[in-house]
Amino acid sequence: MSDNVEKYIKRNVNKGINSRIAQKFVDAGLEVMRSCINCGTCTGGCPSGRRTAYRTRSAIRRALTGDESVLSDIDIWLCSTCYYCYERCPRNIPVTDMIIKLRNIAVEEGYILDPHFSLANDIFYVTGHGVPANGEANKKWQDLRESYGLPPLPPTVHTHPEAVKEVQELLKSVGFTELMENAAKLKGERAKKEEKKEEVK
């Protein structure tokens, strides 16, 4: 019996823990994922899993066992970060944080959806807001503010150009801009490969 445990169970668990993605979790201080018993409590309370193919348990399992397709799968972007899995995990694993980290790894490897890339690169980096109201194109939002007795633009980055520069400097300094450039490059290369495959067909 104990031989079987050794042969069929322990071996797979070890393989899981040594996967490349698992190592990234460990590096990020999330070695607690080793205690996942794949019980499915996370999936059971997941409001996204009720209506999509996203299965938290499966995403975590795939990550730990080195199934890298989990990174390119849109499923990990369907978690609304409601934190029920985090709260209810009987092994105290911060499951939602694991999904967030998994997304970080995906972006690092160039798996980022177009609308997310544009939100990060063209909106947040440029304006300092995730949902901006500045510029001529956003005139109606400025008018709306005024109609409720507020100045046309809030006292945020929108009225402090030097603050936008500060944000951009920090994003450069911490490697955000580089990360986005790299993601765009990897994404582009992948798209080209796909195109070639189509041509060959």
**Which residue in this structure is represented by tokens 């709306």?**
144
Residue 180 or 186: the one with the smaller Cβ distance to another protein is 180
Residue 57 or 158: the one with the smaller Cβ distance to another protein is 158
CB 145, CB 153: distance < 8 Å: yes
Distance CA 112, CA 119 (A): 11
Residue 69 or 173: the one with the smaller Cβ distance to another protein is 173
Minimal distance in Å, beta carbon 136 to another protein? 15
Residue 61 or 145: the one with the smaller Cβ distance to another protein is 145
Minimal distance in Å, beta carbon 65 to another protein? 22
Task: Report the interface residues with another protein, using CB under 8 A.
Answer: 28, 47-48, 51-52, 74, 77-84, 86-87, 94, 96, 100-101, 103-104, 107, 112-113, 115-116, 119-120, 124, 128-133, 138, 140-141, 143-145, 147-150, 154-157, 159-160, 162-164, 166-167, 169-171, 173-176, 179-180
Minimal distance in Å, beta carbon 142 to another protein? 9
User: In sequence order, which residues have a C-beta less than 8 Å from that of residue 54 and are 6 or more positions away?
Assistant: 46, 48, 75, 76, 78, 79
Instruction: Name the nearest CA neighbour of 155 among 163, 147, 144, 166.
Output: 163
Alpha helices for 5-153 (secondary structure H): 11-17, 20-27, 41-44, 56-64, 69-72, 84-88, 95-108, 114-118, 125-127, 139-147
Minimal distance in Å, beta carbon 6 to another protein? 37
CB 130, CB 124: distance < 8 Å: yes
Residue 16 or 96: the one with the smaller Cβ distance to another protein is 96
Minimal distance in Å, beta carbon 170 to another protein? 5
CB 36, CB 94: distance < 8 Å: no
